[in-house]
Amino acid sequence: MAVTNQPGRYEPSDFQTGLCDFCDDCGTCCYGFFCYPCLGCTIASDMGECCLCGLGMPIRSVYRTRYNIRGSMCNDYMVAHCCPVCATCQLKRDIDRRKEQGIF
Note the pLDDT of residue 30.
96
Task: Write down the pTM of the prediction.
Answer: 0.88
pLDDT tens sequence across 34-68: 999 999 999 999 999 998 888 999 999 999 999 99
Q: How far is it, in rounded angstroms, from Cα 17 to Cα 11?
A: 17
pLDDT tens sequence across 86-103: 999 999 999 999 999 999
The upper half-sphere exposure of residue 78, i.e. CA atoms within 13 Å in the direction of its Cβ, equals: 6
